[in-house]
A and B are shown apart, each in its own frame.
Chain A
Amino acid sequence: MKEIWITLATVIVAPLVGGIITGIDRKITARMQNRFGPPILQPFYDLFKLFSKETIVVSNTQILYAFLFLVFNIVAVVMFVFKMDLLLILFILAFATTALILGAMATNSPYSRIGAHRELISVLAYEPVLIAMIVAIYFVTGSFNIEDILKHNSLLILDLPFIFVAFSYVLTIKLRKSPFDLSTSHHGHQELVKGITTEFSGPVLGLIELGHWYELVLLLLFVWLFFAKNIFVAITAILICYFLEIVIDNISARLTWKIMLKLTWSVAFGFALVNLIWVYIKYRLL
């Protein structure tokens, strides 16, 4: 019975948090651009509006894939709250992205297809880093289970500083923020119209938007994992981390996929690998 209530609370609270964070994001972005900015509840207005629009789909499978994207994200967040297997959460997150890509590929629109291809390339870029992060956490704590990871007697960041840097780097790709917003963009419509979400409209687009909020909460929970020992440190770290994302979003221009792939595999994966070797020697060999 208790599990059902926790699940229900997670499913309700997570999008509220995600939506408010998105709203604050938009407000801060506006202030940085010397604008007044939309109200903080604006993402909710957008979502409600999308749900009250007419449903137009090019092919019916689009609805299924948009729905799967949302469901997989919800499942990943709920699994994190229940402190289950980290590796499995990562795979489910990958399934969610795959559903979105398949949804975009289900139509013949060139914009939607190019967006899907770019999304595939960004999955190719960030997935090795995420896997490296989880393997490194395994080396330090000896378990993939979040329950056991939380029992580790010091902050994970002390052992995994470079992994955290690499993860913050990947976070920009995952949140589709400016230097890496090449699959879908909130700002540049000249290039790809709307990239991966071009062919989704009305309530179906609303489902994807909702899925993004769950995804955002899950990614911030990953940040929390590095500072799990102390709740105040963790919240401060999450806020600083997200603020830096907003700053980077505002000061950088969009890169091409080639540069993104090169940079992520050399810099971010390099950082992760160095840290991986370090913790392997420290915990497995000594």
Chain B
Amino acid sequence: MLFRKALKKSPWIVHYDCNSCNGCDIEILATLTPVYDVERFGIINVGNPKHADILVVSGSVNHRNARVLKTIYEQMPHPKAVVAIGACACSGGIFKECYNTLGGADTVVPVDVYVPGCAPRPEAIMEGILKAAQLLEEKKKNMKKGEILNVAKS
């Protein structure tokens, strides 16, 4: 019980830039600066999928990086969550119908929280990551029942 409660209090994130124009990446990095100080929620940018709980994706997915995104997701230990940051990661954005993109991050990995915006504000990104952290507890419960939940929640 105590162990499960701790899940939402220390979400460690790994950030992957799929095909982004770097607008969202700059906002994500701004969120991690001392101005917003996400460490007060226990959020740490670990940069290592094996330590991470939450995968933060920005940008639309193309044929080249779909495999990389999938590998990063598979390397993370359960329970894990995915947050799509920005319009491109949510749906593909203005690149949606392009021949070279697959669409949003949810075409490759199950996305739990969508943070729309071009680019979203740091406050919105923070809220998205914290919402994903709340979901981790639920996922742990389902893990105990024997099934690992990968249902995308929209």
Contacts and interface: CB of A to CB of B under 8 A. Distances in A.
Interface of A: 26, 30, 33-39, 42, 44-49, 51-56, 189-190, 193-194, 197-202, 205
A42 B77 contact: no
Given A38-B42, A53-B78, A199-B50, A45 B10 contact: yes
Interface stretch (B1-9, B19-27, B83-91, B110-118): B1-9
B70 to A, nearest CB: 16
B58 to A, nearest CB: 17
B123 interface: no
Contacts of B47: 189-190, 193-194
Given A42-B42, A201-B51, 20 more contacts: A33-B34, A34-B34, A35-B37, A35-B40, A36-B40, A38-B41, A38-B42, A42-B9, A46-B6, A48-B3, A49-B53, A51-B3, A52-B3, A53-B78, A53-B79, A54-B79, A56-B77, A189-B47, A194-B46, A194-B47
Contacts of A44: 6
B45 interface: yes
A34 B34 CA distance: 7
Contacts of A189: 45-48
A205 to B, nearest CB: 7
A197 B9 CA distance: 22
Contacts of B51: 194, 197, 201, 205
B37 A36 contact: yes
B34 A45 contact: no
Given A52-B4, A54-B78, A46 B42 contact: yes
Given A36-B37, A37-B39, A56-B77, A49 B10 contact: yes
B77 A46 contact: no
Task: Kindly name the residue among A35, A36, A55 whose own CB sees the greatest number of chain B CB atoms within 10 A.
Answer: A35
A49 B9 contact: yes
A189 B5 CA distance: 27
Contact of B6 (A45, A194, A198): A45
B39 A35 contact: yes
A51 B77 CA distance: 11
A45 B42 CA distance: 8
8 contacts: A35-B39, A47-B6, A49-B53, A51-B3, A52-B79, A54-B143, A194-B51, A199-B50
A38 B77 contact: no
Contacts of B34: 33-35
Query: Sorted from nearest, which 8 A-B pairs have the closest CB atoms?
Result: A48-B6, A189-B47, A201-B50, A45-B9, A52-B3, A54-B78, A54-B77, A35-B37
A202 B40 CA distance: 22
B40 A38 contact: yes
Contacts of B143: 54
A37 B41 CA distance: 9
Which of B3, B140, B143 gathers most chain A CB within 10 Å?
Answer: B3
Given A194-B46, A198-B50, A201-B77, A42 B37 contact: no
